[in-house]
A and B are shown apart, each in its own frame.
Chain A
Amino acid sequence: MQRLVMKLLVLALTMTLGLSSLQAKPVNVPVVYYKLPNGLKVVISEDHIAPVVTVGVYYNVGFRVEPKGRTGFAHLFEHMMFQGSANVKKFEHAKYVEANGGSTNGHTDFDYTNYYETLPSNRLEMALWLEADRMRSLDISEENLKNQQNVVSEEVRVNVLNQPYQLFEWIELWKNAFTNWNNSHNGYGELDEINAATIEDVRSFFKTYYAPNNAVLTIVGDVDSAEVKKMIEKHFGTLTAQPAPPKADLTEPAQTKEKRVSQPDKLANLPALATGYHIPAQSSPDFPAMALLVQILQGDDSSRWYQRLVKEKELTLDLTGGLNYFGNEFDYTGPMIMTTRTTFKPGHTVDEVLKEMDAVIAEIVAKGITDKELADAKVRYKSNFYSQLESSFGKAHLLSVLALFRDDPNQINSLLTPFENVTAAQVKAAAAKYLVASNRTVIERVPEAKSQSGQ
């Protein structure tokens, strides 16, 4: 009885606070946005909380558009961007950034490749010089290409080939869920194709995609916008535009029946399962409801799938996944699947796990979600969003992809609105429309029989 009263009290508290939280101070990220005559998009956002700055350069090219026969090439190319340019020797990009108190890295994703430095804000111009130098004059040599083919091969071994499960919830799921090669191929790359890349491949990829008119330059931190503009003009103003890259076909035919795959796993000790459901495009009116539905199904330990599979039925050890395997709702453009990965306990079957996942969906389709669930999902969504805005890098990332894919980084200040307007009926409808067996791919990993010496 005491517990019931407590629960009602908590509920009442949530409702009132939930209301006040909707009226809380809106996000206000200052944004300066313009384009250089050569087409380079520039975003500047001042933030004086600490004496640091992040410089991000985002190119409109990801591994979906890499050439056939060259899986893993976009990522190999990302490595080549640290191999020197006209005035910066091999790997000295890292030297300059670190000797100036910063850190640097790059990342290749479905639809973009980024390069970034976070460093003390009085070193900003050095970072701009470095980025401009490699955008203008990448130095490409046979020796450095061979070296990075070796390095990337080891990266694939350490993260894929020598691991149990071998990232099947990405690589294998995408191979099977998609039919268009651009979407379905292994973006990390097959070793023989990574090692088949030539100097000419590198040159032509650079010329086609690494041009100012195919990039965004973002600066976030303890800087003065007017001074930054002058530095950008000086270092990037004389870069020349290139013809726009060919537009790749990313269209994906609608899936009409369920795909099921079972794969042996030489290195794993326990069976595992991954599912992928095609989700609506970001421009679809169903998208915000889908994003909250993902939250409600698998967003945290209170979520319906986690509670059902891990806690109530005790079928699985874990449950991970989300709407975009690598990132968030905003940093991709092509077709996407919601992924879910779970390691299940020996003695259980894929069908048992799927049956429970389906039962959860069926409940949402039949009865919808509660008002509290919806309000909570929105609070959770907002809180996660703020976490992305906490660091200068997090802010630079969002601003960059909004400029790259939507030509409008100012949307950062209204990004939450469509999600806050979602209704329970829309979530229910999204479940009924998209979470159907014919729209999904299921992959099972079966440990190969071996001596189980684990007591």
Chain B
Amino acid sequence: MKLLLAAILLSISTLPIVAQQKTPPPPGPARPLNLPKFTEKKLANGLTVILAPLPNVPKVSAILTFTSATNGTDRTNHPGIAQIAAGLVNEGTDTRTSKQIKEELRSIGGTLGLGSDPDQTTMTATALSEFSSRLFELMSDVTQHASFPETELKLAQENTIQQIRAGRANPGFLVNERFQKAVFGDHPYGFVVPDEKSISTLTRDDLKSFVTKYYIPNAAHLIVVGDIEPDKTLAEIEKAFGSWKSGTVPADENPPLPVRDKRQIYFVNRPGSVQSAIYIGNVSIPRSHADYFAIRTADTIYGSSFYSRLTRNIRESKGYTYSPFSSSNTQAKTGSFLAGAFVRNEVTGPTLLEILYELDRMRVLPVSDEELNAAKEYSTGNFSVELASQLGLAGRINTIYTYHLNKSFIDDFRPKIEALTAADIQKAAAKYFDTYHAAIVIVGDWEKVKDQVTPFGDVTMYDAQGNVVK
């Protein structure tokens, strides 16, 4: 039967027999969500352990977070020490050289890397699940017994300085650095990279005392996701981390944010640029704030989804840019909202105009029901995809602990999103998409675009090193 049909089709191949369906097929019945569950245990030393089985492949993924070791920690004496420490603890311990650590990882099919941000230092590690105990043992060794060998320290200092110099050639690095400083000022959230002197004067003792003081189990959580048996995994964790000594949790530092009384342009001059890199935004809210779901959804409609207003306007309608975007970055103490695009020099002014127009439109007019429903589906559907990967789920659980969210966040997500109204979105936009007090950061060739930029506000000019220039 099928073959016969095929023969007919081939013989009249230019005339389709059956017209293609004109409207999209309706959804099938909803499938069970299978939302992942996690369990929490506390070790005697205060370490919070969170376990979530997800046996999609025979691997295990872990995130160990130190909430007392932030980019702001110790920043008066040693700016950037959290970043340098994070880059160095896996370069040698009391019993392992850097090379031995890398070889151990190789032989368990593992990875282990650290990074720090304004709220935490995180160690992200993976391995084949059959080697989970060896992975925990290595994570524990790096956490407790980092030795900061002189040769490794010297190399890291030299390379970090060079990497930052190399980064200053990159417009993406420059626009982000200037934006964080414009929005957060001297608040620890405004810290991006240390200066060269702070890097080169750090000593082994500084680093040792930093990790002893701030990598402590009673200000840490360990999340393990993957092909695990919780009882066995917990026993392995207990064995690896049980002897880690607790410490004193430092008081929370929370300096005030800068007050922005008007819109201001921060221009980083990069002669020879063929594009302007543009970020526009301001301070927003911490993740735990009641407006979180509203600003997140406003962001989806404005610029963070592909079919967003900003993309439809300056990409699909006007062709100014490849990848316009917006981003709601909510963290423990505060956050930021920003819209951005990288555009050819000739359309720098028109792009500023459209980004600001679309921000104002969100504040002044309610979003349509169609847009709101689409944004809700987008958020809840993609949430399921995120939770289906080991590091996706571990990362999501980490936000619950680092940002002090409800433990029921994963279960609450869908109902909270579904309850939003157009008025909620407009209210959030009115508060956080404030174009009149926005920081406008541009990295580009001043001589080529200055006439397009100056109509939008007062300009402060910087060079690529971050110095104010006339």
Contact = CB atoms under 8 A, between A and B. Distances in A.
Interface residues of B, number: 101
A324 interface: no
Contacts of B57: 386-387, 389-390
A25 B58 contact: yes
A151 B314 CA distance: 10
B382 A102 contact: yes
A238 B20 CA distance: 8
B232 interface: no
A92 to B, nearest CB: 8
A100 interface: yes
Contacts of B464: 453
Given A10-B104, A302-B102, A454 B170 contact: no
Q: What DSSP secondary structure best describes chain A's contact surface?
A: helix
Interface stretch (A62-70, A83-91, A358-366): A83-91
A198 to B, nearest CB: 17
Chain A interface extent, by class: 35 or more
B228 interface: no
Nearest to B170: A164
A50 B34 contact: yes
Interface stretch (A131-139, A251-259, A279-287, A408-416): A131-139
Contacts of A164: 166, 169-170
B329 interface: no
B381 A100 contact: yes
Interface string B374-399: 10011011101101111000000000
Nearest to A87: B22
A162 B23 CA distance: 42
Contacts of B99: 302, 307, 311
Contacts of B111: 300
Contacts of B159: 310, 317
Contacts of B373: 99
B400 to A, nearest CB: 19
Contacts of B388: 49-50, 52, 391-392
Interface in B228-283: 272-275
A3 interface: yes
Given A120-B381, A151-B322, A158-B342, A379 B109 contact: yes
Interface string A19-53: 01100110000000000011000000000011110
A386 B58 contact: yes
A346 B162 CA distance: 9
A301 interface: yes
Interface stretch (A174-182, A267-275, A423-431): A267-275
Contacts of B104: 10
A314 interface: yes
B145 interface: no
Nearest to A318: B163
Given A17-B130, A18-B107, A238-B17, A454 B465 contact: yes
A230 to B, nearest CB: 12
A126 B25 contact: yes
Contacts of A25: 58
Interface string B190-234: 000000110000000000000000000000000000000000000
A435 B17 CA distance: 57
Contacts of B273: 162
B382 A101 contact: yes
Contact of B107 (A90, A129, A376): A376
B290 interface: no
Contacts of B134: 13
Interface in B171-203: 171, 196-197
B128 interface: yes
A122 B25 CA distance: 11
A80 B210 CA distance: 54
Given A25-B58, A51-B31, A51-B384, A379 B23 contact: no
Contact of B106 (A121, A162, A318, A379): A379
A433 interface: no
B419 interface: no
Given A154-B320, A235-B21, A390-B389, 14 more contacts: A52-B381, A87-B22, A87-B23, A95-B307, A98-B374, A126-B27, A130-B24, A148-B319, A149-B319, A153-B344, A154-B344, A317-B162, A317-B166, A383-B128
26 contacts: A14-B107, A17-B131, A20-B130, A37-B2, A37-B9, A49-B54, A87-B20, A87-B22, A90-B316, A95-B307, A96-B24, A98-B307, A123-B28, A123-B381, A136-B20, A154-B321, A157-B342, A162-B273, A164-B169, A237-B5, A266-B272, A375-B107, A382-B109, A383-B126, A387-B59, A391-B388
